[in-house]
Chains A and B, each alone.
Chain A
Amino acid sequence: MALQSLDRLVATASEKELAVIDEIVKDRDEFVVMTNLASQYESELLRTPQSNNIRRGLAWVMALARVELGAMRAGFTDVRNPFELVPPSRYEFAEYVEIMVDSARTHYLALGNDPNAHLYARWNQAPIKPGRMPTDAQVLTERQAIAYARRTVLASQFVDAVESLGKTQLSADQYVQLQQAKQHLASLKSAIVYRVLGLGIEVSSGTNTALDGGTVLGPVTGLGGLPPATEK
């Protein structure tokens, strides 16, 4: 509903009007959008706190709404390329890209920080029969596995969307790192869906699912610092 009105506004307002409107939005604290949320999942050694994560203005408001709407489609529908159904206008494109990249990083890094995700990932590292969990994973329930499958799919959708947004702008190195992140997530999803939940037929067994290594989304940290896997 918010975007319906705001999209029409941006399409019909003059530049001068948009400038004044932007001032109205910037002037109100409730329309502040925080960015750089992914940094909270980086280790303290790597973390570089920015002096200002506060963003103000209509473009940020619209970009955030668009990302949340795209994420809803990603999580609750089976449409392909869910983020492309509600693409950004030129007005908020840069802000949209920044929030998308931050969101993708956040999902990816948070999974890397999550001991449960590591438990699931281990299913791909050893030849375990479906339905028979590793001892220390027996505390994980099927319902939780479904939630983590949804989480992994959502993270993948964000990474795919970032890749699509940056097609022409990614360096070769960045592209490789992005592929690495995609591979980790695909492998984790495979572990949960095919091995833990025993759904469908596994197309590829995946390689090492450990969520480590640096990617364009940022270095996944926490493997060394995570609590023991049995700690919940």
Chain B
Amino acid sequence: MSNRFASVVCLLFVVSLSGVAQSEGPRLSREDQRAADQVARAYFAGNSLLYAELVSGWLRKSNDARLANFDAALTAVSVPTTGELMTEAHLHAVHNGLTSDLPSPSSREVLVVVEQLGSHVSTLVRMVYQNDLMKDPLPDPATLREYDDVVWESQMLESKARDAAQIVRHMQLLASKLSKTQLAKLDESGKTLLEETDEILGDVEELLDELGERQAEVRLKRLALALRRLQDPMLNAEKIRAAYTAPLDAESLTSYLSAAKEHQRVFKRQTLMNSQLIQQVAADRETARQLAGDLTEKSQRLFVGLNWWLRGRYGVGSEVFGLAKSPAAMHSMQAQMALYMPQQLPRPNDRQQNDSQQQPSYSQQQQSPCYDRRHHYWWAWEDRRVQRTTTSSVQTNRQAGDPNSISYRTGRYFM
């Protein structure tokens, strides 16, 4: 144990660019060296607003040559480049409603950030379009249990599409802060990207519309299946699921169809064109209520409880390596509810089994859940550094712009 443990220990370091950057990386001026050091410290402390402020300030007075050296120095100590850092900071601010806390951007910053945000949006949109839910025929599971996965995934897709729309709106906001002189300083690709944000937003909203119709159709199918299951005289798992999903789907459909009616929306999907659909859903809801009886309330207690449990177990906050939410959660409902959740329902991995069997796959795969027990880690957040290490080690850094990523960072505690 000790050798492997010791080798892990050797990997840990208190971040300092001094020495590393000068002996192995590019030569930086003393001023840039100090700035890079501060940025790295803020990054490893997980303080995105601070490193955004530092990088933003530095970008104002830099040029291309200095930027390349600065990025190389950061990369040499496993810190993302300035572009990646700023993108991550902007994404964090967008997700947590903190965009007004970001420093006012320079034209250079806008260029650096907008390109990466644009790329992030493309990735999100592509992920949604490639999902089976966006293809015909729609998934048609035989059981309500199987529907759990379909509905979960559809909600994750919706979250991605809404995220993409939010990011494009943020890009528009960034562009609006630039004067004509600053806009003129952007290169052609930057200008084009900013000019096209209206069009991109239109595409994303169209995607959201299509996804919404498909989600509604899935819920209609699930509601029909739930009604059949509720007619079963025997108590079984499917009946309990039906007692929960029937009113849930009916509520969601009623709200969706009412909003569509109010906005005189024309549906593209045949199933939703039925003008009596709202009444039909209301009737189904009443039938389900009568069939389920007190099972409705009990099933709600079960599944609402399990949903909160899932959030606690797999949800990753934006602060302290996922252990905490943004400080904005103290006064904002949006920030209080915001959590990074896995796209697919996760399967926990057995750490001891993998350790004892010396499976190399364990150290290569992400641990699920991120924290086997949260109380094993949060005592360390005074220092905002958490390292999980036993006889084998798991540590990964978030790749900026990776929509599936979850963040852990290096530190110097042992657990």
Q: Which chain A residues lie closer than 8 Å to B6 at the CB level?
A: 227, 231
Give CA–CA (A37, B383) in the complex, Å: 24
Let me know if B391 and A227 touch, CB within 8 A.
no
* CB within 8 Å of B: which A23-62 residues: 23-25, 27-34, 36-37, 39-41, 43-44, 47, 49-50, 53-54, 61
- The residue on A at minimum CB distance from B301 is A9
Contact, CB under 8 Å: B305 / A40: no
Interface residues of B in 393-415 (CB under 8 A from A): 412-415
B283 at the interface (CB under 8 A from A): no
- B314 on the interface (CB 8 Å rule)? yes
The residues of B that contact A107 with a CB separation of less than 8 Å are 376
Residues of A within 8 A of B352 (CB): 34, 36-37, 39-40, 49-50, 53
- Would you call B356 and A47 a contact (CB within 8 A)? yes
Partner of B353, one of A2, A21, A53: A53
Which residue in A3, A6, A20 is a CB contact (below 8 Å) of B235? A20
- B305 touches which of A3, A34, A75, A141 (Cβ 8 Å): A3
Shortest B415–chain A CB gap in Å is 5
Cβ contacts under 8 Å, A226 to chain B: 2, 5
User: Which of B14, B236, B312, B379 is A154 in contact with, Cβ under 8 Å?
Assistant: B379
Smallest CB separation, B143 vs chain A (Å): 11
Known contacts A8-B301, A9-B305, A16-B235; is-contact A30 B310 (Cβ 8 Å): yes
Cβ B345 vs Cβ A232 within 8 A: no
Is B9 positioned at the interface, with any CB of A under 8 Å from its CB? yes
Do B390 and A40 touch across chains, with their CB atoms under 8 A apart?
yes
Interface hub of A2, A41, A71, A150 (most chain B Cβ within 10 A)? A2
CB-based contact B308/A2 at 8 Å: yes
How far apart are the CA atoms of A23 and B374 in the complex, in Å? Answer: 26
Q: B interface, how many residues as a size bin?
A: 35 or more
Chain A residues near B145 (CB, 8 Å)? Answer: 27
Question: Which residue of B is nearest A151, CB measured?
Answer: B379
Given contacts A9-B302, A20-B236, A147-B382, contact A72 B375 (CB under 8 A): yes
Range, interface on chain A: 35 or more
- Residue-by-residue, is B4-25 near A (CB-CB < 8 Å gives 1, otherwise 0)? 0110011010100000000000
- B9's partner among A47, A222, A225, A232 (CB-CB below 8 A) is A232
Contacts of B308 in A (CB 8 A): 1-2, 5
Stretch at the interface among A111-119, A182-190, A194-202, A204-212: A111-119
Q: Are B237 and A115 in contact (CB under 8 A)?
A: no
Report yes or no: A2 in contact with B306, Cβ–Cβ below 8 A: yes
Complex interface: chain A residues within 8 A of B414 (CB): 110, 113-116
Whose C-beta in chain B lies nearest to the C-beta of A107?
Answer: B376
Q: Which residue of A is nearest B7, CB measured?
A: A227
- A146 close to chain B: CB less than 8 A: yes
Q: For B124, what are the chain A residues with a Cβ–Cβ distance below 8 Å?
A: none
A148 to chain B, nearest CB (A): 8
Known contacts A31-B306, A68-B373, A232-B12, A53 near B390 by CB under 8 Å: no
22 contacts between A and B (CB under 8 A): A2-B305, A4-B305, A6-B301, A6-B306, A9-B302, A12-B301, A20-B237, A28-B148, A30-B310, A32-B347, A34-B350, A37-B373, A37-B376, A40-B390, A41-B390, A49-B355, A65-B309, A68-B374, A103-B375, A106-B376, A151-B380, A226-B5
Q: Which residues of B contact A (CB under 8 A)?
A: 1-2, 5-6, 9-10, 12, 14, 145, 148, 235-237, 240-241, 295, 298, 300-302, 304-306, 308-310, 312-314, 345-348, 350-353, 355-356, 372-376, 378-383, 390-391, 412-415
Q: What 9 new A-B contacts, CB under 8 Å, besides A1-B308, A114-B414? A: A2-B306, A6-B301, A6-B305, A9-B301, A20-B237, A34-B348, A68-B375, A103-B376, A151-B379
5 closest Cβ pairs, A-B complex: A5-B305, A71-B375, A225-B2, A49-B356, A2-B308
